[in-house]
Structure 1
Amino acid sequence: MIDFESLVELIYRAATDPDLWPRAMHELAASADSAGGIILTRRSDSWVGWRHSPEMVGVDDYLRSPASARSEAPIRLLAADRAGFLDAETVFTPEEWFADPVMTHWGTPNGLGHAAATAMPMPTEDFVVVHISRRIGQPAFAPADIARLDAFRPHLARAGFLAARWRLERLRAATEALALIGLPAAALDARGRALAANSLIETMTPHVLWLPDDRVALADSAANGLLRRALADVSSPAATTPRSFPARGRDGAAAVVHLIPMAGESRDLFDGGCALLVVAPIELRQALDAAVIRGLFDLTAAEACVASGIVSGLSLEQIARRQGTTPATVRSQLKSVFAKTGVGRQSSLVALLASQLKPPRPPKE
């Protein structure tokens, strides 16, 4: 028998210690004679963070797959707009439910059948969804089962709110820590919305544009395109999208932009593709300095020399002789430079570096 008070206490503890959510979801499911549970956060049209009880095998792969985006379950759950749990068959016919991707791609293959869920809006514009599943062969959720789950819903909603606020405080602390060492920074979600920002980046109006809905853009259109691509891939540790690149302000000043995925956030309920944007002003004495190029794109010393040589108009053979290596090695290093800078041709590399790193011309008298 699950003790109500003990489970409520566990739910609130999980708000600040996400490692407790799996246990809380297990006990919540057990209170309704169910196999297991999941707590998820949804932003816009995608799942951005989740924790689940150990019994929910395969749910991680499903939520990361294209199939999860085709499910009607979250759409119908939100459309029902009920401040409580709903049995799946309240918003689906039995045939529709077992034909939905949540069942065909995850539930049924893992021996799960009926489900109940609730959606709770958060002040961060996220929704927290709690989903409880039963094994195949168990009956649908009866009104008494729903009432038992509903008794925990206010506590789940408040814990979700606390988790969201706790996360925002951590993000603010991260941006302020960077301000102490002189770095303008903002914490962005995957849509480019600023969740927290320090005062230094707020004054960088030549470089940073503040758009409606707290979204952030760069004044340099080429750099802004790279930022959008990097944000789209921020949740993928294997992404090859450049996350450090040069940018020019509307006043001609040069800066280096870094997008840094929030390390360790995968254990957070609200891990949703969060990253730190750092816009560091630089003063360049020469346009093609290999050390500057290396720092901008996280190149090795050899890769930086190749990039500098290409922009200076040297052939691969000339670069190889200068470095005391072979053209084949230089070609391999050039491929790595392309991957890190986000371009695919030598002419594009020249255009990127020569146009972005060239110091601004002095104003005419």
Structure 2
Amino acid sequence: MSITRQVDEKLIDSIYGIVFGEARWDAFLTELNGLLPGAGTSLFYHDAVRAEGSSQFHINMDQAWIDTYTRYYCRLNPWITGLNRTPTGQGAIGEDFISYAELSKTEFFNDFWHRHDGHGAVGMTILREGSRSFNLSITTTRWTDPDESRACAELLTRIGPHLRRAFIAVESGGRQKSHSEINGRLFDAIGVGVLLLNSERRLWSASVIGEAVLEQGTGVWLSPLGMLHLADKDADDRLTLMLRHGEEAQRQQTVLTDGRKIILLKLEKSHQPRFFERPVVAVLIEPKQSPTGLSDEKLRNDFGLTEAEIRVVRALVSGGSVAGLAAETSRSRETIRSQVRSVYMKTGARKQVELLRLIQFGERPAETPGE
């Protein structure tokens, strides 16, 4: 089986369409699902310490299968151990971890996999976070030629870096947010810092200016345990009320502390399942000053960005969209997305916040171990 370059490009376009809000995970999974006969494709997580796992985005997979797997058989999955030993972003087939003869002797196979017409599997770990791994799998209900499975695994390896960027950008607070959530880039553009907190007061994400305020350590800071505090006790007490589950606190409150105006905003929880915890409260801070960033000349010289790519970068970090820039420049969306992909590759940025830090602060993206 040979997978053409056009297939790669179409899938990569879909991935970046997800990042910029023009596509959905199920559309990407549907395209991927068509590569193998009788396939079912899933994005799922597994926690090795808690021995639990669940699929939250899947195509052509019966919900009863998913529920049964989640309740019990996720802890018996013999392929997970192999995936956990495999570098992130590297595609593999089930036979890389356990032979079909050995698989057929397991409880997982006889009481679950075989009864649900399962046959082969191709998979990849997109990323790991502590004991949790976030994975992509393609399972088949019919016999699949080993060459076809191997070609599919090699495809996953090729699109792995793009998929990892999209996964982090979207699931950790990228562009696909509910209208009640905060777009940090837009607030950075007008000089306001954004800090998003989870229910335990821990920092979920921060805009560039929000991080600058934290570094100054005046008015708002992180404790040694990573919990955010406000210098003003009344404001800190109000934040506590907002963070409590089920607490009927005001949805928005404004306080003044250390000469700064701080707005506390309680966010609506998304009903869509997510791999990562969602933020509960946004803290909006007016900083004392806003930093300057890299010049166009610096971007050309240091990263080899073309004029068109620089124009794309400037538009995106100022709150623009692929669709808006395409209309403004009379280019197709596919052309703009191609330029965005090129920017990520040249700069090494894996998500939009890293790109924003690079442009505004000249802060190079940190290298990830194993990359």
Using the size of structure 2 for normalisation, the TM-score is 0.49
Using the size of structure 1 for normalisation, the TM-score is 0.50
